[in-house]
Chains A and B, each alone.
Chain A
Amino acid sequence: MSFLSLTEQDREQMLETIGIDSVDELFAQIPPAVRLGRTLDLEPALSEPELVAHLGELASRNTDTGREVSFLGAGIYDHYVPAVVDAILARGELLTAYTPYQPEMSQGLLQAIFEYQTAICELTGMDVSNASGYDGTTVAADACYVAKHATGRSKVVLAETLNPQVRQVVKTYAPGFRLDVVEVPHRDGTIDPDELQAAAGDAACVIFQQPNFFGCLEPAADLAAAASGAGALAVAHVDPVSLGVLEAPGAYGCALAIGEGQSAGNYQSYGGPHYGFFAARSEFIRRMPGRISGETVDTDGERGFVLTLQTREQHIRREKATSNITTNQTLLALAGLIHLSWLGPQGLRELGEICLALSHYAKERLGEAGLELVFPEKTTFKEFAVHVGRPAKDAIRAARSAGVHPGYALGRDYSGLDDALLVAVTERRTPEEIDRLVEALAA
């Protein structure tokens, strides 16, 4: 392999400096009984061209969205990633640096994180954002941990219209956090604020999603008021690309705003790596999980940036830390910042409007073709649920044979919706492609 840099002569000189005859002597501290007395049973090494060929062969056995027109969403979306994102992420300084523990070495990175935090605060209407969490699921668990300590309560309420994977992750973390998890069912596609308030009685937080998993717009302000009215923190799980057209969680009374960042700047990548974002009102700043970049000055009085509020963190506070997170998703969050900067406020709004217009067109065309929406009364953003008149998986199979992936089978997560598809329409779809979808589903 070519990733090592020592020559034979180097090795001999180094052994001599150390004062030993062979590298084996360095491993004498490992008791003989726990040494592996054989070679690892791994396949032979591949040269670079062989490696590219092997991985190319594996990649060729995945159907990418260039080969099948995709209306699949359910949390991960086929949005356009601008070329500037790829170009800047390929810069080796940004790609191969690590957490900026030494700020004078990493001013560019710390400034980028500060700019990212600002963008997330602006999108969500919040005061503070961290440098990123793992994804849209784990930031929900983080929110529960913050809420538990902020309120002293040990129950969390999840809307049934919150992404099922997010709910599953919260439930996995809950026993460790000593939290009970309660779910509030949807009523015709959205959550009823009165029902939510009743459930939130002794809850630390309430998490709902806007737009929700079905694509429907929740009565977000009423849900936030219901949570706050019960003394629970209102937490909105939001889609960043919706926030040019939809109201910011900070403007409708949420304490925390979280979400999956993939829509802004990341490829689908079979589910990751992506980034989760976590933003809060200023009163929660010292309870935040993860890294935070803060502004300061150097000894000349010039502006600079450092990792700040580190006394929250595990390397200082150990078992009393606000979270165990260290490595987060900085590079993916940087991609998000670049994408949002590329869009600007006008571009972000246009992007939302394009998704809105295209998905509305899809709903209308499917309706004309005789398909019924699952929640016809509800306003939707870029995604909606539709009955396909047969088991959804059959409809998917048929549509795929026509080169279209028509969406996600909702019956995987919701009983009674076995004939329903969740259809996502991004700016990458065209009216012609939507016509193909309609044709495939009406067939």
Chain B
Amino acid sequence: MKLVYEKSESGRRASSLPQPGLPLPEIPEELRRSRPPRLPEISEPELVRHFTALADRTFGVDTGFYPLGSCTMKHNPRVNERVVNLPGFRDVHPLQEEDASQGALELMWRLQEILAEIVGLAAVSLQPAAGSQGELTGLLLMRAYFADRGENERRREIVIPDTAHGTNPASVTMAGYEVVGVRTDPRGNVDLEELRGKVGPQTAGLMLTNPSTLGLFDEGIEEITRIFHEAGALMYYDGANLNAICGISRPGDFGFDIVHFNLHKTFSQPHGGGGPGGGPIAVRERLEPFLPVPAVVRDGDVFRLDYERPRSIGKVRGFCGPFGVFVRSYAYIRSFGPALKEMSEVAVLNANYLLARLKDAYELPFDRFCMHEFVLSGRRLKREHGVTTLDVAKRLMDYGFHPPTIYFPLIVPEALMVEPTETEAKETLDAFADAMLAIAREAAEQPEVLKKAPHARPVKRLDEVRAAKRPIVRYRFEEHEEPYGAGEPRQLEAQKGA
């Protein structure tokens, strides 16, 4: 399909703007735009059709089942979209006075209280913009905490299991720490013996996702906590998989000092094709003085922003964070109330049901009940039929499903990571399981069908290597025909009259 730039015609436009009829002041020539940006020139009807066509060529949770492991692709209630678009939330400036923002401040304060209760910790900052920024913020809190205690020079290492998301080690580097890896044992837990050898006076902390990216709750969690607490180190809980344990178990109760939430996962901020997200962090009391400013606090019946936090690490994002995300997540949690536990129970039930239906056709590397997601291996299909997990994923598209996360976690060969979420119906789970079983049969009977998949999408399989080798990351006007001349500054005024 054509790009919006290829639908462009000189002289067309969609916008109409007010004409105040005032004189236009001069801008000094050296500061003035010398060559207009080649933005699309398109009428409104064509504009709407273009983006509607792009939507048609995109698959969302609204389109169908999207079991992308670790991303918690649950339904996004439409009432949340209605409330976030109320003028009192949408058309409010972040720097306006506190007396004109009491509703926004109260909503944030209430969300902080709720999140603190869900994870069993004392204080919350909503400011980080996404999970990975929550991680970085948490690590900067560790730095500030140990600097305050005079231990920063000595504590240089952060321990991370080999099942961790790539964001964990990337955040560690950005926070100026060193990564120390620890392996997973044959039951899918952190290898405690190896861990003991790697934690000591040089350790600043642990980053743990629990349940892990294998979808397994770490059965040795009490011993892990003991090891880190004895070393005087801090424990960071990556909340990517919090959807499994709300109302069931709280990281603060099992020893974690810092937790980040992914509001776009657990609490249903629509994923938006890659964002926005929200990555609030919750901390134990001793870390509260270091949280980002401003803090949202309550004084009696009045809510205000507190900038007087002399030990704060500073700011990690503009203003108070992604407010619209807070509105949606607050609304989502209030729709459940104390029954939030049922959300997690059903997420775990759905995952185990799918697992039970699939584990004979695909290999299960750690044979246990799973939590909210599970990881299968396509190793046998590859060995016996030469069909890879990538082929299975592409073939799933033909059956009308978004593929699971593939080739992650790295410790499982030919991994397929499936997270159905709590919002799916049994019929959907059955249809997906039937498709996966049919694909396993196809792998044996007609592997070529899988290797050439997808067959029913707007494009065939795409060449990712070529894209990386010779990157084309913007439209190259000069390599295409009109409407744009090669580099000549255009006479806008002349066109306007034409």
Contact B276 A331 (CB under 8 A): yes
A296: B residues at CB distance < 8 A: 462-464, 466-467, 472
A305–B457 Cα gap in the complex (Å)? 13
Task: Render A307-328 as a binary contact track against B, CB cut-off 8 A, 1 for contact.
Answer: 0111101111111110111111
Query: With A65-B92, A105-B402, A114-B473 in contact, is A343–B459 under 8 Å at CB?
Result: no
A109–B272 Cα gap in the complex (Å)? 10
Within the complex, what minimum Cβ distance (angstroms) separates A140 from chain B?
10
B129: A residues at CB distance < 8 A: 134-135, 138, 272-273, 329
Is A212 close to B, CB under 8 A?
Answer: no
Is A281 close to B, CB under 8 A?
Answer: no
Partner of A324, one of B20, B174, B334: B174
Contact B39 A26 (CB under 8 A): no
Within 8 A of B (CB), among A4-27: 4-7, 10-11, 13-15, 17-19, 23, 25-27
Contact A40 B273 (CB under 8 A): no
A344: B residues at CB distance < 8 A: 12-15, 39-42
Tell me how many residue pairs across A and B have CB atoms closer than 8 Å: 694
Contact B36 A42 (CB under 8 A): no
Within 8 A of A (CB), among B291-340: 292, 313-325, 327, 330-331, 333-340
Within the complex, what minimum Cβ distance (angstroms) separates B110 from chain A?
9
Query: With A42-B340, A112-B51, A408-B95 in contact, is A104–B88 under 8 Å at CB?
Result: no
A96–B74 Cα gap in the complex (Å)? 9
Quick one: which of B114, B120, B272, B338 has the most chain A CB within 10 A? B272
The 10 lowest CB-CB distance pairs between A and B, nearest first, are: A59-B88, A331-B272, A271-B319, A92-B62, A271-B94, A45-B337, A108-B57, A172-B314, A61-B103, A273-B276
Within the complex, what minimum Cβ distance (angstroms) separates A9 from chain B?
9
Contact A30 B245 (CB under 8 A): yes
- Chain B residue at minimal CB-CB distance from A47: B335
B246: A residues at CB distance < 8 A: 40
Within the complex, what minimum Cβ distance (angstroms) separates B461 from chain A?
5
A4: B residues at CB distance < 8 A: 342-343, 346, 422-423
Partner of B462, one of A6, A304, A317: A304
Query: With A102-B393, A169-B314 in contact, is A176–B139 under 8 Å at CB?
Result: yes
Is A1 close to B, CB under 8 A?
Answer: yes
Is A51 close to B, CB under 8 A?
Answer: yes
Which of B165-173, B281-289, B442-450 forms contacts with chain A? B165-173
Query: With A42-B117, A319-B172 in contact, is A104–B473 under 8 Å at CB?
Result: no
Within the complex, what minimum Cβ distance (angstroms) separates A406 from chain B?
11
B474: A residues at CB distance < 8 A: 114, 117-118, 121, 127-129
Contact A122 B38 (CB under 8 A): yes
Quick one: which of A122, A145, A361 has the most chain B CB within 10 A? A122
Query: With A51-B83, A93-B55, A272-B323 in contact, is A247–B31 under 8 Å at CB?
Result: yes
- Chain B residue at minimal CB-CB distance from A17: B356
- Chain A residue at minimal CB-CB distance from B188: A29
A118–B176 Cα gap in the complex (Å)? 34
B96: A residues at CB distance < 8 A: 63, 70, 72, 405
Query: With A51-B79, A272-B318 in contact, is A99–B273 under 8 Å at CB?
Result: yes
Is A46 close to B, CB under 8 A?
Answer: yes
21 contacts between A and B (CB under 8 A): A4-B343, A18-B349, A18-B356, A25-B369, A42-B336, A106-B57, A107-B458, A108-B55, A109-B54, A111-B1, A111-B3, A138-B133, A173-B140, A178-B176, A268-B92, A285-B471, A291-B274, A295-B473, A296-B463, A338-B47, A347-B17
Query: With A61-B106, A314-B169 in contact, is A341–B14 under 8 Å at CB?
Result: yes
- Chain A residue at minimal CB-CB distance from B3: A115
A31–B95 Cα gap in the complex (Å)? 47
Query: With A169-B315, A324-B167 in contact, is A104–B457 under 8 Å at CB?
Result: yes
Contact A220 B31 (CB under 8 A): yes
- Chain B residue at minimal CB-CB distance from A338: B51
Is A64 close to B, CB under 8 A?
Answer: yes
Contact B79 A111 (CB under 8 A): no
- Other A-B pairs beyond A96-B270, A318-B166, 9, CB < 8 Å: A3-B423, A4-B342, A41-B338, A62-B104, A92-B61, A104-B459, A123-B39, A271-B318, A309-B473
Contact B349 A171 (CB under 8 A): no
- Chain A residue at minimal CB-CB distance from B355: A18
Contact A272 B495 (CB under 8 A): no
Contact A272 B32 (CB under 8 A): no
Is A39 close to B, CB under 8 A?
Answer: yes
Contact B248 A30 (CB under 8 A): yes
B13: A residues at CB distance < 8 A: 343-344, 346-347
